[in-house]
Structure 1
Amino acid sequence: MKHWLVAVLLLGAIRDKDNQGRWEKRVESGPDKEVPGFLVNLGPTGARAVLTEKTFIVRYIFKGSPADGKLRLGDVLTGVGGKPFGAHTFGGQPHGYEGPILDLGDAIDRAEGKDGKLTLHIARGSSTIDVVLALEVIGSFSPTFPVNCRKSELLRSRALKYLADHPESGGGPAHARAMVALAMLTDPAHEAAGKRLVLSWNEPPGPGTWTWGLSYQLITLAEYHLLTGDASVLPTIKAVVQRLREAQYDGRIVVWAAKPNEDAKAIDAAQQLYLGGFGHKPYVSGVGQNGYGPMQYTTILAVLAWQLAERCGVRTESRAMRNALDFIHRGTNEAGYVAYGGEFTLNNGLVDPVAWRKSTGGTNYVGRAGASLLAHGLSPEFPDSRTYVEKNQGYLKKAAKSLPDGHACSSLGFAWGLLGAASSDDESILRTMLDYHRAWFTMMRCPDGSFVVQPGRDYADGGYYISSRANPTAVMALVLGLSYPKLLIQGTQVSIPGVNPRALRGSLLASYKAIGAKTYGKAAVLLKSAGPGGAPMTDYLDGLAGRALEPLAAIDDKAELERAIAVLRKTWGGVARFDRESKELLQKLSR
């Protein structure tokens, strides 16, 4: 029995020599509508091309770009800088993007760091010639990029300017809309535009809204509130939290009915393991009402969104959060690979869910593991979260080369793979991922400062046709801004004004981690020895403590007040404002 077949997908760069028939399939609108198909972008040269095993065949040239007037349609690029391109492997097992893409991307970075001259070796008709393109000299990536890297700062600035100059970028599908708004919020020069985009989403969603939209709306509004303190979005945050709860698989699950000669009891038991998950659309009990059932990505994003809302003071039902995490855990194997949907129980035919979780396979879709790492890192109140953080970290190391590939939209994998790596306490994971894909980032870059989706290996990747520029440009702006992260999805654990988590060391770093783990009393003790650099975190703790104490002001019974303070003291005891004001509240009732 196969209720839904999960294809085995191949990783690296491009799936097959025909690019699944997309070399000549145009995007219908947007900045790439004149490009004759889904082609490989040749970085800031301004050319787009078909990839063969060892060459690029030029199919489009943007006017006014470095390639304009230098390259011709039909030119076959065979090498760069005195060397022929290496070979790209189509199909097969995961093997990265070595070959022409990697070679040209590296050569562009070197040229931009020297005199800007990029020497391409070209077969043009019956002739073999060299063509020199004049690229802008903007430097090379530093060994620690994007941290302490002038080139990263420049590229981020240009990416944000592109988004600002193209306001239509903020009106795309939910995942692109969220990334554009959040990227602009992180930069003072574009914060006002980012605020306008966020507030255009400050409206409670209606019944039936897809869970993708609910989660991305909640992530965006919550990050905005945490960054700005603007309380005007709190009613909508509360409404979206409730809509997500209504969308969750809950109660007795009914998605499938047994077919003739199938064990009805086994089918029913298997689909009960969907409990806690989220599908594309809100769950509706009934056979044929829910497509292929819940998915890991939508469930992970819901947990991430709920946890951000919690930090805004909007509570989520604990059982709902626990059930969602349990669904994710059932779909995570021993190696940290995160499934697509419910193939751990039923979607690929009846399987042993215990055996599935003990399996160690998987080399693809690092984005899902990255998102899971973020969600579990924001869920320290659940004791098993650390186990899954470690599993996901291990998988990011194992499957780092799959970053450019993602099902349905490659920008999903790209975004959450990198942001998840940034949230890891193992800095080598992000470093490995960034270093390996440095040339890929360069090849994504367009002459106008934007970034574009590149062809990949997934059989159903529609990212180029969904949002060819806005989404990848916003994602790269967030990644290039990791030198000073401001958002929780950038791995900050908690957003504290005036605090750059990546610059913290010693007791300051320990204090920050304690705040992220919600052990506020421990953080307060550590900050006492941290010196003046700890002032922003001390102020932040005092602000949180004040909000925690606010409901107690309405209690007029001393015994009840003492009980409430005793509960809060487990978390807040040691924080100066809590200790002082809780004492004052008790004294007031004692008079």
Structure 2
Amino acid sequence: MNVAAADTAADPVFNPTPKANDRRGWTIQNFGPVGIGIQLEKGFVMKINNVEPGSPAAETGQLEKGQVIESINGVRFNDIDRDPRIVLAQMITDAEASDGRIVLDIQDLGDVTVTIPVLGSYSPTWPLNCPKSDKIVRHLADLLAKQGENEWGSVIFLLSTGNEKDLDVVRGWMKKRKEIGSINWAIGMQGIGICEYYLRTGDQSVLPMIQKGADHLRDHIYNGAWAGRASGQYTYQSGGHVNASGVHCLTFLLLAKTCGVDVDEFTLQSSLRHFYRYSGRGSVPYGDYTSKAGYGDCNGKTSGLAMAMAAASRLTPGGDKSIYAQAAQINAMKGYYGINTYHVGHTGGGLGEIWKSAAMGLMMDERPEQYRQYLDARRWILELSRRHTGGIGIGGGKDGNYDVATGENSDKGWGSYFALNYTLPRKQLYLFGAPSQWAKSYKLPTRPWGTSRDDAFSSPYPVASGPWSRSDILKETLEQHVGEPAYEILRDDKVSDLNLVTYLHHPEITHRFEAKAAVVRLKKDDMILGLLLSRDARLKHIGVMALHDLFGTWNKRNADPGRVTPEMMAQVEKFIRDPHESWYVKQWSLGLLQHTDIDHLRTYKDLLVQYVEHEEHWIQGSAISASIRLLSDPACYKDLFPPIARAISKATAYPIVSRARFITEQLGDADPEIQAYGLNVMKTVYELQPNQMMSENGRNEIGGGGNFKRKAIGQVVGFSEAGKAYLDSTPKLTSEWKRSGRDQDKFTFSGTFQSNPDLHGTWCLINHDLVESRSDANDYIKGKIEKNQIPSMQPERMKYGFVINRDGQISPVGFTKQKFNFPMRYSGDMAFSTFIDKAYHYEVFTIGDREYLMFEEDFEAEEDSSYKAIYKTYVKVASSK
């Protein structure tokens, strides 16, 4: 069988893709049910990477790791111009439709025939009305019934088959189950299946479990979303959110509400609002910051949002006509337009492929042609993902983190989620159209975020004033209209005006951004003005973003501000001043004020005061940034300093708190009178800051948030020597104070540096192990010495450590800066920073002929009265110069 001779015109490109000249090669983890892995080396030399025990390949008794494969079914990959993964998958498809034979020509051995079970051909309507698909589903379901009870993907897959036999298996599991999970990841991803079980059966025994999950999310939400685990660190990804897990928590809460459990209203509404504002405005970001255009959907966050919006549309009365139903579509279609990006994401891209495929399942009825194209183009992935055992992983990616099938050393069952590709069209799940007599309804807001003009961003249809109608969008093809071909069309300097206008009016925001880049590059400024004059918020927004390009807001290399006309800026002014304008348009329009002269900026003073205290922190942040220059303006500073100070003081959102640094930069060049005024205002803010940052509902502390905020405000106060002196004189928290609560146990810098010559030098962290006392440190270090585990004197190889000089300054080495707060210095036996209110105890001692340092760890995370001081140990490796 010579697959190379087949028509290759319809092969989409899947990036990243194996390349013959790749020096590192590419491992195809699983050659589907054949039972081997294949290592593609440079020049597409094939070697057997592994042979799975019990597989058809193993049954030959002739195949071993390391053998060179000359060809498979007569195909040599260095002779073809196709993605080898697609070719291998087609071999499986063809073999299962005929005699099951896969022939491997092994160097120095000859032909070895592997025979896989014959399943038949895929039908044109697969996975529906398709005996082969039915067999694949049955094999996996039976395997899960035997060994998948504790795997994350098992419940939802068995429910999706619609088979009573599988439902009985889940019933048995639910009789023993007491909770969904203890971390946000688990509650979001597993909880969807538990809710689906209730909505299928009405089994009230699982409602306490669903309630417990909803209560957990209530107790760990902050700023509208969640960390990946129960609590997070504020500095992680700009605010501590992990939206790849949080978006599924929202889906769970909406389904839990559908099940009739008591979902905390604040938790439900704040998370709905938080995630909805990303809808149609780009890819859902990793953390708490604004969305961005892009065809990829890293870890499936945008596709996960489609699932949440589908849950919202089913919960609220009349939801099939609601903004939520539209939002489900526009977010689901990200997978279609981004089809060329495969298996890319933080920790590995397989997680995203689960949700991209699931979200496309929501489009079976709305965009049937595109759904069919998507499924057929990616069938090769399913073929490579299947195992000889009947299990399914997520195959074909550069990494194998998520290519895990049931029984393969993981409790997550990632591949069982991916197997929903085969079963979602059966519509046995409530999220995908199944009815439920136990489903409750609940009236959600008509619009959880923005103004009526913002609704345009969630529309899955083209802007009405463009060349395309609604029916045209239903005729899109992979060959012409998804990310890769659209990118090629729009990056061509000969792109037609018709194509530019078509993609400027497209519902996918990344198409609009690519068209905008072409308009700016080709100097079609009349089109930019036309965008700004439009009535549709999507076009206004893209016009505003074109002006940002011309001003060089983010990249000054190609800036051309002379092309920005007064007529263009007059439209921007209308957007800023119109109270009914789209919030998303307003946010980016406010950002353009940084490019106006100070006289014109003054005319916005009163409006900026309002926006600085806006309910939406995207607008609030843009307004603060736009106002910063007015803080050094004699005519405006007294009007703007108080509201900006209040906004930062009250804020828990990272994008607002982090903007405090702009004040520092502005005050440095201000008149002395303004500096004194600003210092007094910010000193008051600093003094009023609590040690902890609490979530908006007051139920939980945001880990590291209080520390970050006090430091951010402290750096504003410390813009001058007077401010630094004030901060140095304020008492700082210590571990002793943590235990006693007595003010006298805080550390106060006297203003006179107390030197300790033993401390001067370079100190290297021995290990991340913690000790609680000097005696513990002695025993710990002696144990390390016996095992020869004390670092040698090679400071240039240090990853964690300090350099401490003779005037008391402490400088970080490597990753240490991420743990402590710099600049830092010491005096006496305490180390401290000007900009935060903490001080750390240290102690220097000698064992043998080397000096060691016990340096106290941060103590913020400890909560109970039994807290003990904890230290890390360092060894001196060199003297400071």
Question: TM-score range with shorter-chain normalisation?
Answer: 0.5 to 0.7
2:665 aligns with none
Matched, 1:242 2:225: no
The 5 Å alignment of 1:399-414 reads: 399-408=338-347, 410-414=349-353
Sort the Cα spacing of 1:135 and 1:306 in 2 relative to 1 into closer, same or farther, 3 A. Answer: same
2:249 aligns with 302
Q: CA deviation at 1:422?
A: 0.7
Instruction: Specify the SS of the correspondent of 1:407.
Output: coil
TM-score, structure 2 length as denominator?
A: 0.42
Q: CA RMSD in A?
A: 3.6
* 2:238/2:288 contact within 8 Å kept: no
Matched, 1:99 2:83: yes
1:326 to 248, 266, 273: 273
Q: CA deviation at 1:399?
A: 0.9
1:430 aligns with 371
Q: CA deviation at 1:303?
A: 1.4
The 5 Å alignment of 1:141-180 reads: 141-166=122-147, 169-171=148-150, 177-180=151-154
1:224 aligns with 197
2:187 aligns with 214
Instruction: Specify the SS of the correspondent of 2:99.
Output: coil
1:589 aligns with none
Q: CA deviation at 1:57?
A: 0.9
Deviation digits for residues 159-197 of structure 1 (CA, Å, limit 9, x no counterpart): 11222232xx333xxxxx331122234432232322233
Q: CA deviation at 1:283?
A: 4.8
1:188 to 139, 157, 164: 164
CA distance in structure 2 between the aligned counterparts of 1:473 and 1:282, rounded to whole angstroms? 25
Query: Could you say which structure has the greater relative contact order, defined with CA pairs below 8 angstroms and 6 or more residues apart?
Result: 1
| Structure whose CA Rg is larger | 2
* 2:196/2:429 contact within 8 Å kept: yes
1:124 aligns with 107
Whichever residue aligns with residue 133 of structure 1, its letter is V
2:428 aligns with 486
* 2:184/2:229 contact within 8 Å kept: yes
Q: CA deviation at 1:132?
A: 3.0
1:276 aligns with 224
Sort the Cα spacing of 1:162 and 1:81 in 2 relative to 1 into closer, same or farther, 3 A. Answer: same
Deviation digits for residues 216-251 of structure 1 (CA, Å, limit 9, x no counterpart): 3432321111111111112222232122122111xx
Q: CA deviation at 1:329?
A: 4.1
Whichever residue aligns with residue 393 of structure 2, its letter is V
2:29 to 16, 34, 40: 40
TM-score, structure 1 length as denominator?
A: 0.62
Matched, 1:340 2:286: yes
Matched, 1:420 2:359: yes
Matched, 1:73 2:54: no
* 2:238/2:289 contact within 8 Å kept: no
Sort the Cα spacing of 1:238 and 1:455 in 2 relative to 1 into closer, same or farther, 3 A. Answer: same
Deviation digits for residues 322-359 of structure 1 (CA, Å, limit 9, x no counterpart): 3223322454563x422222342xxxxxxxxxxxx5x5
Instruction: Specify the SS of the correspondent of 1:48.
Output: strand
CA distance in structure 2 between the aligned counterparts of 1:159 and 1:401, rounded to whole angstroms? 28
Q: CA deviation at 1:59?
A: 2.5
* 2:179/2:209 contact within 8 Å kept: yes
CA distance in structure 2 between the aligned counterparts of 1:106 and 1:307, rounded to whole angstroms? 40
* 2:18/2:25 contact within 8 Å kept: yes
**Percent identity at matched positions?**
23
Sort the Cα spacing of 1:306 and 1:365 in 2 relative to 1 into closer, same or farther, 3 A. Answer: same
Which has the higher mean CA deviation after the structures are superposed, 61-70 or 295-304? 61-70
CA distance in structure 1 between the aligned counterparts of 2:430 and 2:211, rounded to whole angstroms? 19
Q: CA deviation at 1:211?
A: 1.1
Instruction: Specify the SS of the correspondent of 1:214.
Output: helix
Whichever residue aligns with residue 42 of structure 1, its letter is F
Whichever residue aligns with residue 371 of structure 1, its letter is G
1:445 aligns with 386
Number of equivalences: 413
2:330 to 375, 382, 391: 391
Whichever residue aligns with residue 43 of structure 1, its letter is G
Instruction: Specify the SS of the correspondent of 1:190.
Output: helix
* 2:237/2:287 contact within 8 Å kept: no
Whichever residue aligns with residue 194 of structure 1, its letter is V
Sort the Cα spacing of 1:234 and 1:75 in 2 relative to 1 into closer, same or farther, 3 A. Answer: same
CA distance in structure 2 between the aligned counterparts of 1:13 and 1:364, rounded to whole angstroms? 17
Whichever residue aligns with residue 298 of structure 1, its letter is S
1:377 to 288, 292, 310: 310
CA distance in structure 2 between the aligned counterparts of 1:422 and 1:178, rounded to whole angstroms? 20
Q: CA deviation at 1:81?
A: 3.3
* 2:237/2:288 contact within 8 Å kept: no
Whichever residue aligns with residue 216 of structure 2, its letter is R
Deviation digits for residues 56-91 of structure 1 (CA, Å, limit 9, x no counterpart): 3103223443223343433333443333326899xx
Deviation digits for residues 426-452 of structure 1 (CA, Å, limit 9, x no counterpart): 223432232112122111112121123
* 2:214/2:256 contact within 8 Å kept: yes
* 1:332/1:339 contact within 8 Å kept: no
Sort the Cα spacing of 1:83 and 1:184 in 2 relative to 1 into closer, same or farther, 3 A. Answer: same
CA distance in structure 2 between the aligned counterparts of 1:132 and 1:215, rounded to whole angstroms? 45
